[in-house]
Structure 1
Amino acid sequence: MTTLDWATVLDRLFDAPDDPATRSWAEEALAAGSGTPGQRRAYDLLVAGHDVIDLLAETPAAVAGLLAAADPGRITVAPAENEWSALHIVHHVADNEAVNAVRIRSILTEDTPTVFGYDSHPWTRFFALETWQDALERFSTARRNTVALARSLDAEDLDRRGVLSYRGAESLRVLLAVLAGHDRDHLDQLRSALAAAE
């Protein structure tokens, strides 16, 4: 019998989102608080039947829409001490997209590579190098490339695996699902940051 983990469960959900054993394991894991936020959110997206690549394609416009509707003065205001402002969130998703571009290409061109992991908080020291508008443009451009690449892949490509120190080995399709989950978490965070700054 295969021992289940988040990577295996998320892989199975692509083909069998209603599988009771897989769903049962995931629900118990969610109740126990295990897994990364991206893994937990990816589970929700897959169970709901969302197309991961479509979600990835939609995120830049969703971020841009939230920022366009906000009072410009709110974008730099953090909701509370040690929490990120909308500006921080936009810079983070741009940086994260750059990291995932390298991860995806490594998985596609190497045999089960160890892929780049990073602590995002120290990277905030670089956020002053560009405006949030430039960070959004950087994110949007990189994400268009990610989506185009993802849509060009076949099942064999999506089965390729990489190893992250904090998540373990996972297929490329799972990495993309977790990235979509990461997007959803930060969209929620962005909405909350903008609302709290009112």
Structure 2
Amino acid sequence: MDLRYPIGDFEYGKSYSFEDIKAAIAAIAVLPFNLTELVGKWGDDRLDTPYRPEGWTVRQLVHHIADSHLNAYVRTKLALTEENPTIKGYEEAEWAKLPDSALSVAPSLVIISNLHLRWVTVLESLTEADFDRTYYHPGYQRSFRLGEVMALYAWHSEHHYQHIYQLAKREQWI
């Protein structure tokens, strides 16, 4: 198994049916529960274990998920309220070095849980046409349809969950 991409890499530029998008939203909805069930009671020894050599620790991954999904939520709302807005990228590796990345994972698990509740509430209210709305990402120099963004964040959720889950299996923590 590829430790860096345990579920494979995300394929950009594909089109997604409304059913595909609904499945992606369901995957986004379940992440907070699954992640909390997996790591919610872990001690510092496990949380400070890198998921792979040269990789982030479980603690950094959980905080990264909160950071990334906060950005995705804001980008979603921008795309729904503006015409193809230009969003701001961020240096995720640099964010992972900031002091809040050393905190307990509890605040980020709470953020992820509440954020996903709000995000999924918005997403489940959208029509099929709403998922054609876009934002422009200057880092990629292209516009992204919200349907593709939902597929990306469903992938992102499972991608990082599997980093942690596969580590737990290798270390016989589960």
Q: TM-score range by the shorter chain?
A: 0.7 to 0.9
Distance apart, 1:166 and its partner CA: 2.2
- 1:14 maps to what in 2? 17
1:126 is matched by which residue type in structure 2? P
- 2:145 maps to what in 1? 171
Q: Determine whether 1:152 maps to 2:125.
A: yes
1:163 is matched by which residue type in structure 2? Y
Q: Determine whether 1:61 maps to 2:29.
A: no
State percent identity of aligned pairs. Answer: 22
| Count of aligned positions | 160
Distance apart, 1:50 and its partner CA: 7.2
Distance apart, 1:128 and its partner CA: 4.1
2:99 is matched by which residue type in structure 1? F
Deviates more, 1:165-174 or 1:182-191: 165-174
- 2:87 maps to what in 1? 115
CA distance in 2, matches of 1:190, 1:116: 28
Alignment of 1:1-198 (within 5 A): 6-7=12-13, 9=14, 11=15, 13-14=16-17, 46=20, 51-68=23-40, 70=42, 73-79=45-51, 82-124=54-96, 125-128=98-101, 130-164=103-137, 165-166=139-140, 168-195=142-169
- 1:32 maps to what in 2? none
TM-score under structure 1 normalisation? 0.71
Question: Could you say which structure has the higher helix fraction?
Answer: 1
The verdict on how the C-alpha distance between 1:59 and 1:159 changes in structure 2, with shifts beyond 3 A counting, is same
Deviates more, 1:128-137 or 1:54-63: 128-137
Distance apart, 1:184 and its partner CA: 1.0
1:131 is matched by which residue type in structure 2? S
CA distance in 1, matches of 2:62, 2:141: 24
User: Which structure would you say has the larger Rg?
Assistant: 1
Q: Tell me, which stretches of 5 or more residues in structure 1 are unaligned?
A: 18-45
CA distance in 1, matches of 2:170, 2:86: 39
Q: Is contact 2:134–2:145 with CA below 8 Å preserved after alignment?
A: yes
Q: Tell me, which stretches of 5 or more residues in structure 2 are unaligned?
A: 1-10
TM-score under structure 2 normalisation? 0.80
Deviates more, 1:157-166 or 1:128-137: 128-137
